[in-house]
Amino acid sequence: MRAGPAVALIAALLLATTCAAETAQFAGSVTVRSRLEGVGGLSGLDLSDDGGSFVALSDRGRLFRGALTRKGGRLTGVSVTDGVILTGPDGQALSGPMTDAEGLARDRHGRLFVSFEGRHRVWRYDARGLHPQPLPQPPFADALQTNSGMEALAIDPRGRLYTLPERSGALTRPFPVWRYNGRWRQVFTIPRRGPFLPVGADFGPDGRLYLLERDFTGIGFRSRIRAFTLDAGRATGETVLLVSRNRQFDNLEGIAAWRDTDGAIRLTMVSDDNFRWFQRTEIVEYVLPLANPGQTH
Question: What local confidence, expressed as pLDDT, does residue 232 receive?
Answer: 81
In this prediction, residue 19 has a pLDDT band, given cuts at 50, 70 and 90, of low
pLDDT at 221 over 50: yes
Question: What local confidence, expressed as pLDDT, does residue 149 receive?
Answer: 84
pLDDT at 18 over 90: no
Residue 52: CB atoms within 10 A of its CB come to 12
The predicted model gives 175-200 an average pLDDT of 95
Per residue in 142-159, pLDDT tens?
888 777 789 999 999 999
Per residue in 110-127, pLDDT tens?
999 999 998 999 999 999
Phi-psi region of 51 (alpha: psi -120 to 50; beta: other; left: phi over 0): left
Rounded alpha-carbon distances, angstroms, from residue 139 to 108, 120, 283:
26, 11, 34
Per residue in 34-59, pLDDT tens?
989 999 999 999 999 999 999 999 99
Question: What local confidence, expressed as pLDDT, does residue 169 receive?
Answer: 79
Question: What local confidence, expressed as pLDDT, does residue 20 receive?
Answer: 57
Cβ atoms of residues 89 and 75 within 8 Å? no
SS3 164: strand
Per residue in 58-109, pLDDT tens?
999 999 999 999 999 999 999 999 999 999 999 999 999 899 999 999 999 9
Per residue in 245-294, pLDDT tens?
999 999 999 999 999 999 999 999 999 998 998 999 999 999 999 864 44
Tell me the Cα Rg of the chain. Answer: 18
**Pick from 26-30, 150-154, 160-164, 287-291: least confident:** 287-291
* Strands 282-287 and 265-271, sheet pairing: antiparallel
Residue 167: CB atoms within 10 A of its CB come to 18
In this prediction, residue 22 has a pLDDT band, given cuts at 50, 70 and 90, of confident
Question: What local confidence, expressed as pLDDT, does residue 274 receive?
Answer: 87
Within its chain, how far is the Cα of 59 from the centroid? 13
Cβ atoms of residues 90 and 112 within 8 Å? no
d(Cα 244, Cα 89) in Å, to the nearest integer?
A: 40
d(Cα 152, Cα 145) in Å, to the nearest integer?
A: 15
Q: Could you please state the CATH topology (level 3) that the domain comprising 25-288 is classified under.
A: Tachylectin-2; Chain A (2.115.10)
Question: What local confidence, expressed as pLDDT, does residue 171 receive?
Answer: 86
SS3 248: coil
pLDDT at 14 over 60: no
The residue extents of the domains of the chain are: 25-288
The residue that leads in pLDDT, 277 or 132, is 132
